[in-house]
Amino acid sequence: MDVHLLLENTLQGLGYELVDFELTQGGGFRVFIDKPGGVTLDDCVSVSNHLTRLFMVENVDYERLEVSSPGLDRPLKKEADFVRFAGQLAKIKTRMPVEQQKRFAGRLAGVEDGSVKIEVDGRLVVIPFANIDKAGWSLSFND
């Protein structure tokens, strides 16, 4: 079973966005959700209860389930994230160098033809989605 797809479809139906999904050591799941206006503790509890029942019905085997908001370190994973947060400050780490560097910090300037545009020190850098290793609001990237 594709747990990621199950989460994506279920959360969307509940009015939440699946921001990220991680497998944890010991067979657990960590699910990060968001919604317009932000996520509260009650949202996390509600989603956790719903997913617990859903996983039981769908026979999804897991040891532990954690549901939380992405917080200030919200990762940018999907093209829609880069569109939604255009104009915001972000950092991007690439797999392969672009213009002889792999780390960029600047203002998101949109998406075009499968690439993210980011304004860095007054110049526009175009980074193909396939080359993005990590992107988000974090103050630093851990290698």
pLDDT digits (tens, 9 = 90+) for 82-129: 998 899 899 999 999 999 999 999 999 999 999 999 999 999 999 999
Q: Is the pLDDT of residue 139 over 60?
A: no
Among 46, 112, 50, residue whose Cα is nearest residue 79: 112
Q: Do 12 and 65 fall within a single domain?
A: yes
Q: Do 22 and 55 fall within a single domain?
A: yes
* 71, 87, 105 - which closes a domain: 71
* 71, 102, 119 - which closes a domain: 71
Q: How far is CA 131 from its chain centroid?
A: 16
Tallying the residues shown for the chain, one arrives at 143
Distances in Å between the Cα of 136 and the Cα atoms of 15, 86, 90, 91 are 22, 12, 6, 6
Q: Could you tell me the pLDDT band of residue 31, with boundaries at 50, 70 and 90?
A: very high
Q: Do 66 and 99 fall within a single domain?
A: no
Neighbours of 5 (CB within 10 A): 10
Q: Is the pLDDT of residue 76 over 70?
A: yes
Q: Do 10 and 65 fall within a single domain?
A: yes
Which domain, by its residues, includes 88?
79-136
Q: Domain of 87: which CATH number?
A: 2.30.30.100
Q: Do 32 and 84 fall within a single domain?
A: no
Task: Report the C-alpha gap between 46 and 26 in whole angstroms.
Answer: 24
Q: Is the pLDDT of residue 141 over 90?
A: no
Number of domains in the chain: 2
Q: Is the pLDDT of residue 138 over 60?
A: no
What's this model's pTM, rounded to 2 decimal places? Answer: 0.73
**According to the model, what pLDDT value does residue 140 have?**
44
